[in-house]
Structure formats: structure tokens, C-alpha cells
Amino acid sequence: MRTELATRPAESADAQPAVALTRHWRTPIMFGLFGLLALVVFGILPDGGRASTFGLSLTDDAIQLAPISVPSKLAATLLALVCLGIAAYAAWQTYLGRRVPLWLSITFGVAFVLSFLTWAVAGSEISLTSALQGTLALSVPLIFGALCGMMGERTGVINIAIEGQLLAGAFLSGVAASLVGNVWVGLIAAPLAGLAVAWVLAVFTVRYFVNQIIVGVVLNVLVIGVTNFLYSRLLSPLKDTWNSPGRFPRLKIPVLSEIPVIGPVLFHQTIIVYIMYVVVVLAHIALFRTRWGLRVRAVGEHPEAADTAGIGVNTVRFRNVLLGGALAGLGGAYFTLGAVGLFSPEMTAGAGFIALAAMIMGRWTPIGAVFAALLFGFANNLQSVLGIIGSPIPSEFMLMAPYLLTIFAVAGLVGRIRPPAFNGQPYIKS
Amino acid sequence: MSENSSNELTIGQRFFRELTTGGTALTLLSILLAMLIGGVLIVVSDPDVQETAAYFLSRPTDTLLAIWESASSAYAAMFAGSVIDFEAASFGESLIPLADTLTYATPLIGAGLAVALAFRAGLLNIGAQGQILIGATLAGLVGFGMDLPPVVHLGFAVLAGFIGGAIWGGIAGLIKAKTGAHEVIVTIMLNHIAALLLAYLLTTQLFRRKGQAAPISPFVADSAALPRFFADSRLNLGLFVMLLAAVYSWWLLSRSTMGFRFKAVGHNPHAATTAGISVGRSYTAVMFIGGGLAGIAGASQVLGTESYLSTSIAGELGFDAITVALLGRSSPIGTVAASLLFGALRAGAVTMQAQTGTPIDIVLVVQSLIVLFIAAPPLVRAVFRLKVRAASPMAAEVGGKV
């Protein structure tokens, strides 16, 4: 291990020289298997003659669209064939020695999910718009959390404490907004709470070189302990003073919110969601188009080289962990000020870990993480929607999807996932 | 841990070397510091203290008295709830708190061993929670779903617990060995999958108790129950099963070839490979065995302490297991000792909540602070102005990349 600290770890080294000849067949194979699964289970096996109906408009939309009704069996089969076509294209690309592009994976995911959806709602109707609204609502904290993890891991600091930072943000935003009586104060307090948790993480891992995962795990529990304790002591008995923050109103953006289907989903939201749009775009540009981003990635990929080039490795790490903490704290505010309107114990309910999964599935890129988070949010929302109309599969299995997909992903079954090379390793200047 | 004395320590062992060299004083100071901060939290959030603080300048003694009252009564209740209750009616009853402590410590031992064994092979097993859940599920299924003669039934149920946990741990070990996927991510995801799987199973005919709306299983059959020792306590034979597991772990690590391989892999996987040890097979084996011990911990919960399966059967044991293994410096004996301490904290906190109204969650705070302080010796040394030793910076290496 000592030698590994000084050189690039072996796994990336063997991929480097053989660029022209290294072919990774796992992705096309998995695409093919999932495509076949869709074809058989969603397309061939079910009885024909039923229709799946998707509502496209909410009652208060300006432009009303009629619900779309499609024959379930035919539509699911066609979509499954699209999946298989993508698998074939991916296989062709791999044969040519090219990598499977991200957009192809996303298209495959969308086609597979639509095929599943057509099968699942056969014989009944769901509103696509409200399903998408629910998806976005559940994805917002995931996206903030994934960005938080990314800020740390791009510099080589693993942040398992995303959950704790979300929860701290949710707690402090609720308490601050209640005490002052102004939701905006809560919105300012939330990133500070995430920042505080991140500061502890940074001090222990970057300054004292303590194992990053252990500190992360412990911080999660510390935040749960402190917030639960204060909830029982103060927030629950003195609810009016401590736990009545209120909620942000939902703002309609003129014109944009009139777009059918996606308008009310994307542009009739609270301020926190609009902040999220900006943050995602900024994070993408900052990471991949600026000098700052180059430095951050250099620190994560090869800290020694970065140090030689005059970059303060541990300073960059420290700052990025703090930045990530602030983002996660902001995401936490969405629970209290955006969605529920008050704090309840452990209200993040594992979102931090799904955010971690979204970051991995999104291959440590902001755009990828957004799509992964949307997919996970969609699965989570769908299990409650399908619970109402009678789901063909138990809701617990729908909820399992993110976790299973992540195991597939880190095991290399879905695409090739490569974390920053020095992720998790402390940088000790000799 | 004399076997650690060589200078060529790597990965996991360096971390524990750091813990070990800190010495007992450091452990005790960490516990003291964590209890102190816990005390501050209790005091600050106490309504009485806040009330008297309002006129602190005119009558400061009131505030100080309230502070003392608040902290001392909480910790006194904690002591009474975990060791000896001097106000009990009889001598036998005064020892019930001690039995409670042992009851809470029982599953911690097995789960802590699961984490400790993996540590020794250089793996971070965050998956004790899932391993406990699956172990408890299988043990419970055998316990209430089958009809067998008394002793055989119990033995079979405990074995089922072992197998359940071993499979769940083994999956993570196998994926790590075959694909190099980070065990931390895999075990975290497996924890959630296990919880959802149990939640689903408890809605099925096979697991659901008849005529019950809540998702809980039937009681385990008497023939499969771990016998209890006292009428007033849930302390059961599971404690001895767990102590046996600790003895087995000690034997495995210090007397067996397989344990030697584990430690070699933990010290330096490259050297171990050169010496002809299969690193992948060791990863799978240590996760399988460790998972099995966590599975037995789950079995002791369902067959002894709780008597039926519910979604909360594992509580926060998975996290406690990590803290126990760290505090016990990943040695079997240390794990047992740390389990007793955290068992006492839990048992005491229940009494504390009942008597003084201090929320039980203070245990989580104290527990996580203890581990934080133990993990960062320079911090504690700075706080107590101890002689500063050169910190071993290798602490962060366990786990490696995600």
C-alpha cells in the first residue's frame, strides 16, 4: 500500500496503455439482459387487450391535454425492442473499441422505465404530470446530497456523512425559521448547519488523517443523536417556539410554467428547487470548465502531481468538503421548508445514502448525478403511486431498486465506473 | 496485541496500531470527555437550568445548583439503571440492572466481532445491520415456522441465523473479491436491501402473525427459544453463545491458519499474495464468518430477547457494532469489554429517560463522541495536555477508495 500512495493505483494503470484494444462487454451484455427481461416480462407474458392511460395535464393547467391511452402489451413490447436496439448499438460501439456514451445509458434507462411503467399501469390510469412532480420532489435532496458527495470525492475525500449533513440542514433550517419567524432565515441557516458537520469531517479526515469512512459513519449517528435529543427536549414539547417554521410558497415562472407536462413540474416550484437548477449548472461548469475545477480534479486524481504544481492539496480538500457540506445543508432545508413545513426526527430517512448511490451511478458528474437521482426519485415515487392503483410488484422491491442498481454499478455490471484515483486516501506531505 | 509488533504494518493494522499505542489512558479520557460533553448537552437543554439562568446574575448559585442537579441526576439514574440499583427492595432486584446491561451487550458482542474480524483482514464491514437482519429472519423462520424436538430446534434455529448472516456478509466479500467493488458501498446498500426484504416478508402469509395488523411475526416456539435465566429479566442463554463466539474468534485469529491468512491480508495484501495466500478467498471467508457471527447475534435477538420478528429487531445494532469494534480495538476480548460498556450505556439510558426525562438519544451522542475521540488521539491529547507523541498518520488507510 505504501507504494500505491506514491504511484497511480494499479487498476487505472492497466486501462491506460491499452486504449485501442480494451473492450468492456459488460455494459452491452447488461443492456441486452435487461432488454430481454423487459421483452419477456413486460411485453410477451402479460395478457393483451388492456390499455395503459397516462394523464398529461393537471386540473389547473392553462393548456389542457387529453390523456394518452396506449395498448399495454404492444407499447411495452415496442419499448423493450427499443431497449434491445440500444443494446445492439452499444455492442457495435464496443466492437469498434469505442466507449458507450452516457446519453445512450440515459436513453436506455428512460426506455426501460417507460416499458416497465406501461406494464405496471396496464388496465388503469396514472397522471404522468403528478408522477413527475413527485419524482422531482423526492429528487431535490438527492441531487443536493450527490453534489455534496461529489465535491468531496472529486478531491479525494469520501463523504459518508451526507445523511448527517442533510439532517443537520433540515433541523437547523426548521429551528432558525421558527425562532425568528422567517423562512428566509432558515434558508440561510441550513447551509451553515451542513457546513458545521462538514467542518468536523474535514478536521478529522484532512487535518488528523482519521479514516474518512469511520468519521462519516460516526457523524451520521452523532447528528441523529443530537437532533433526536433536542427534538424530544425542545421541539416536541415547545412546538410553537421551536418547530413551526412554515413553508416557502411555490412560485410560478411566467410562460415556462405553461409548457404542457414539464412546465408545471419544473417551473412551479419553491425557491429551493430554482436554487438547485442554478447550483447544478454552476457545479458542472465549475468542475469541467474552470481552473478551479481542474485543480479540484487534479487533487483527487493525483495529489502528488497537484502538489508539485503548487496546489495546496489539503487546503483544496478542506474547502471542498466545507462547500459540499453547505450544499447538503441547503438540500436538507428542502425537507423542512420546502416539503413538510416542520422538522421531524430522522426525516431524511436514508436520503443521504441514496444520494451517495446517485453520485456513484452518475459517475461523479453533476449531470449524471441529476439523472440518477431522478431515476431513484422516480422509483421511490412510483411505489407510492402504484400502491394506490394496485402494483404488480410489492413496493419494497421498488424501493430496493436504487440499492440494487448501485451494487450492480460498483461491481462493474452497469457501465464502467471509475472513481477519482486517490479517493479515500489521505495526502500526507513527506 | 503482541502480534502487531512488527514494523511492517499496513492498511487496517496501522489504524489499530494507532489506537493501541494510545493506551488505556486515552480510551478512558475519551470516554470521560464524551460523557462530559453529553452532560453539557443534558444541562443546556434542561428547562430548569434555562429558567434559573434567566436570573443568573442575581442568584448564580441557583443556576449552578440546577446544573449540578440536572447532570448528576441523569448520570446517577444511568448508573442505577445499568449496574446496581441501591433503592431496590431486595438484593436480587438490585442486580436486575446488571442483567439488563448484559442483555443489551449480548447482540453487540456478535455484531462487534463481525466488524472486528473484517477489520483484521483490512475490510470495513459497515454491513453488520443487514447481516443481523437476515440472520434474525432465518432464525425466526425456523423458530416459529418449524416443529422440531427441543434441543435440536434451538440448535437448528441458531444455525439458520449463522447461515443467514454468513450469506449476507459473504455476498459483500465475494463481490469485493471478484470485482474489487468497495465493500463499504456494497455493505451499506445490502443493509437497506435487507431492511426492505424483511419489511416485505413481514407482510407475507408465511411471516405475518395471524390476526395482527402490525407487521410482526408469530412468537418463536418454546423449543427454539433461548432459555432465560431470571423471571424479571430478558437475559438469556444467548449471552453464552456470544461469549463462545468471542472465544472462537480469539482462537481463529491467534491459533488458526485461516486467521493467520486474514491478518496477513490485512497487514499487506501484496505480500500475502506473494506468500501464496489468496486475498480474494480471504476477503470472502472473513466476511462469511463475520457475517455469520452477526447473524447469530440476530438469532439471539429473535430467539431470546425479543421472541418475535419485527422490522426493528436490529435497532441500531449495526452502528453500535462499528463503535464496539473500534473501542475494543478489533480484538475479541476488547470487543466483549466494549460491548459491556455500551450495553451499560443503553440499559442506563432507559432508566435515565424514565426517571429524569432525559431523552435516550443522549446515548447515541456519547457513543459517537467516544469513537470520534478515540479515532483522533492528537485531539484528546491536546485537550488534556498529554505529552504529544508523533501521530501515526496511517490511520486513514483502512477502506481505501470508494
How far B168 CA lies from chain A's nearest CA (Å)?
Answer: 13
Residues of chain B found within 8 Å of residue A352, distances taken between Cβ atoms? none
Q: Are strands A125-127 and A68-71 parallel, antiparallel or unpaired?
A: unpaired
**Which residues face A252 on adjacent strands?**
A268
State pLDDT tens for residues A194-228. Answer: 999 999 999 989 988 888 888 998 999 999 999 99
Q: Is the pLDDT of residue A3 over 50?
A: no
> Across residues A324-344, what is the average pLDDT?
92
Q: Does A47 touch chain B (CB under 8 A)?
A: no
When pLDDT is cut at 50, 70 and 90, the band that residue A4 belongs to is very low
Per-residue model confidence (pLDDT) at position B29: 85
Per-residue model confidence (pLDDT) at position A417: 66
Per-residue model confidence (pLDDT) at position B385: 63
Burial B12-40 (b: 16+ CB within 10 A, else e): bbbbbbbbbebeeebbebbbebbbeebbe
- 3-state SS assignment for residue A268: strand
**Which residues face B216 on adjacent strands?**
B310
Q: How many CB atoms lie within 10 A of CB A88?
A: 14
> Across residues A10-34, what is the average pLDDT?
63
What crossing angle do the helices spanning A128-153 and A313-333 adopt, rounded to 10°? 160
- 3-state SS assignment for residue A413: coil
Per-residue model confidence (pLDDT) at position B64: 85
Domain locations along chain B: 2-397
- 3-state SS assignment for residue A161: coil
Residue ranges, comma separated, of all CATH 1.10.3470 domains in chain A are 129-406
Residues of chain B found within 8 Å of residue A219, distances taken between Cβ atoms? 368, 372
Helices and strands (DSSP H and E) totals, chain B: 16, 0
Q: Does A217 touch chain B (CB under 8 A)?
A: yes
Q: CA-to-CA distance for B115 and B123, rounded, in angstroms? A: 9
How far B71 CA lies from chain A's nearest CA (Å)?
Answer: 15
For residue A348, give the C-alpha cell: 431524511
Q: Does B88 touch chain A (CB under 8 A)?
A: no
Contact B365 A222 (CB under 8 A): yes
Interface test with B, best of A24, A158, A205, A214 (most B CBs within 10 A): A214
**Which helix (H) or strand (E) covers residue A69, if one does?**
strand A68-71
Q: CA-to-CA distance for B286 and B114, rounded, in angstroms? A: 9
Does the domain at A129-406 match CATH 3.40.50? Answer given as no
Q: Does B196 touch chain A (CB under 8 A)?
A: yes
Q: How many CB atoms lie within 10 A of CB A396?
A: 18
For residue A321, give the C-alpha cell: 468538503
Per-residue model confidence (pLDDT) at position A142: 95
Name which of A405, A346, A381, A371 is nearest A146 in CA terms: A371
Per-residue model confidence (pLDDT) at position A10: 41
Distances (CA, A) of A397 to A82, A307, A383, A392: 25, 47, 9, 11
Residues of chain A found within 8 Å of residue B176, distances taken between Cβ atoms? none
Residues 6+ apart with CB under 8 A from A185: A176, A177
Using alpha carbons only, what angle is made at residue B402 by residues A14 and B325, rounded to the nearest 5 degrees? 130
Q: Is the pLDDT of residue A360 over 80?
A: yes
Beta strands in A176-313 (DSSP E): 251-252, 268-269
User: Which residue matches cell numbers 395478457?
Assistant: A47
Closest-CA residue of B relative to A398 is: B196
How far B228 CA lies from chain A's nearest CA (Å)?
Answer: 32
Q: Does B316 touch chain A (CB under 8 A)?
A: yes
Name which of B358, B363, B257 is nearest B315 in CA terms: B363
For residue A132, the one-letter residue type is L
Q: Does A418 touch chain B (CB under 8 A)?
A: no
Query: For each of chain B's 402 residues, which pLDDT tens digit applies?
Result: 333 444 444 445 555 555 555 567 778 888 889 999 998 888 888 877 877 877 877 888 888 888 888 888 888 888 888 888 887 778 878 888 899 999 999 999 999 999 999 999 989 899 999 999 999 999 999 999 988 898 999 999 999 999 999 999 999 999 999 888 888 889 999 999 999 999 999 988 888 888 878 888 999 998 999 989 888 888 999 999 999 999 999 999 999 999 999 999 998 889 999 999 999 999 999 999 999 999 999 999 999 999 999 999 988 898 889 889 988 888 999 999 999 999 999 999 988 888 888 888 898 999 899 888 887 777 776 676 655 443 333 333 333 333
Residues 6+ apart with CB under 8 A from B60: none
Q: Does A226 touch chain B (CB under 8 A)?
A: yes
For residue B106, the one-letter residue type is T
Q: CA Rg, chain B, in Å?
A: 22
> How many contacts (CB atoms, under 8 Å) link A and B?
179
**Which among B15, B182, B394 has CB closest to A410?**
B182
CB-based contact B298:B131 (threshold 8 Å): yes
CB-based contact A255:A274 (threshold 8 Å): no
| Percent residues over pLDDT 70 in chain A | 92
**Which among B10, B181, B372 has CB closest to A218?**
B372
Per-residue model confidence (pLDDT) at position A268: 86
State pLDDT tens for residues A376-412. Answer: 898 888 887 877 776 677 888 888 888 888 888 788 7
When pLDDT is cut at 50, 70 and 90, the band that residue A1 belongs to is very low
Contact A424 B399 (CB under 8 A): yes
Per-residue model confidence (pLDDT) at position A413: 67
Which is more confidently placed, B54 or A75?
Answer: A75
Distances (CA, A) of A345 to A224, A229, A336, A409: 8, 9, 11, 31
Tell me which CATH code domain B2-397 carries. Answer: 1.10.3470
Q: CA-to-CA distance for A208 and A266, rounded, in angstroms? A: 43
Per-residue model confidence (pLDDT) at position B54: 76
ipTM of the complex in this document? 0.83
